[in-house]
């Protein structure tokens, strides 16, 4: 990444309010307005507009004109750019290593992909156990809503921008609004399978055996990935 762009990004996100506004836009990919940002953060619309402009100048969000239906000039709707920007000091290129690994996996065939998915599940189990230990959380003593709450909190820690949609013991529905692998997932669909196994590993560590059903997927053009998790007997 060019040094000029690094400075733009770090400058844009150095302000805590602006950083949180960026996260808010990321979590609302259908788009947000200046008014919505102002109301959500309790700031003046002019201040909200300034923060959004700074984010747009850094290529972190983009805007489009949209009529409100109330007459007057069209207002701007801001959406996340979704283009990956990686900043590290000193510079590192983990994306290159990831691309080489995925190409190698492709060449090794179906057995290697099966191991890849299994490893995703195992990592999910490790993340779940780490959460239980760090939070001193005894899953076996918790009611179903508390188990769901813990699972959503872990997804938040993974920067998946989860949203809980429905809870009806023994199932819950949730959506994930950020795909950490968006740039590679179209070329390597097995990544999606691995990540679902990873999520299942987390869920099963927290609440026992589950059936994880995919209802929507960003790979297929949906805004979010949406799942139903059903606790099995």
At residue 126, the pLDDT reads: 98
| Sequence-distant (≥ 6) Cβ neighbours of residue 42 within 8 angstroms | none
Question: CA 71 to CA 213: how far, in whole Å?
Answer: 44
Question: CA 8 to CA 60: how far, in whole Å?
Answer: 10
Question: CA 45 to CA 38: how far, in whole Å?
Answer: 5
Domain boundaries, the chain: 3-80, 109-231
108-142 in b/e form (b: 16+ CB < 10 A) is: eeeeebeebbeebbeebbebbeebbeeeebeeeee
pLDDT in tens, the chain (233 residues): 567 778 888 889 999 999 999 999 988 988 999 999 999 999 999 999 999 999 999 999 999 988 766 666 778 999 998 777 777 777 778 889 999 999 999 999 999 999 999 999 999 999 999 999 999 999 988 999 999 999 999 999 999 999 999 999 999 999 999 999 988 898 999 999 999 999 999 999 999 999 999 999 998 889 899 999 999 98
For the domain 3-80, what is the CATH code?
A: 1.10.10.10
Question: CA 58 to CA 14: how far, in whole Å?
Answer: 12
At residue 107, the pLDDT reads: 96
Query: CB count, 10 Å around CB of 196?
Result: 20
Q: Tell if the pTM clears 0.85, that is, is over it.
A: no
109-231 maps to CATH 3.40.50.2300: no
Question: CA 20 to CA 172: how far, in whole Å?
Answer: 28
């Amino acid at each position: 990444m060019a040094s000029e762009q690094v400075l733009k990004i770090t400058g844009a996100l150095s302000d805590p309010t602006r950083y949180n506004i960026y996260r808010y836009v990321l979590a609302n990919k259908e788009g947000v307005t200046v008014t919505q940002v102002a109301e959500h953060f309790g700031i003046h619309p002019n201040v909200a507009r300034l923060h959004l402009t700074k984010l747009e100048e850094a290529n972190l969000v983009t805007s489009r004109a949209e009529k409100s239906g109330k007459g007057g000039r069209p207002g701007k709707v801001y959406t996340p750019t979704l283009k990956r920007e990686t900043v590290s000091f000193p510079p590192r290129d983990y994306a290159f290593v990831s691309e080489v690994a995925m190409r190698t996996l492709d060449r090794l065939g179906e057995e290697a992909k099966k191991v890849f998915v299994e490893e995703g599940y195992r990592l999910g189990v490790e993340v779940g156990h780490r959460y239980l230990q760090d939070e001193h959380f005894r899953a076996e003593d918790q009611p179903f809503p508390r188990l769901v709450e813990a699972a959503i909190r872990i997804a938040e820690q993974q920067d998946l921008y989860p949203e809980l949609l429905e809870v009806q013991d023994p199932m819950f529905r949730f959506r994930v609004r950020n795909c950490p692998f968006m740039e590679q997932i179209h070329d390597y669909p097995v990544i999606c399978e691995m990540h679902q196994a990873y999520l299942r590993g987390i869920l099963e560590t927290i609440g026992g055996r589950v059936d994880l059903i995919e209802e929507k997927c960003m790979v297929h053009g949906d805004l979010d990935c949406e799942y139903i998790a059903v606790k099995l007997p």
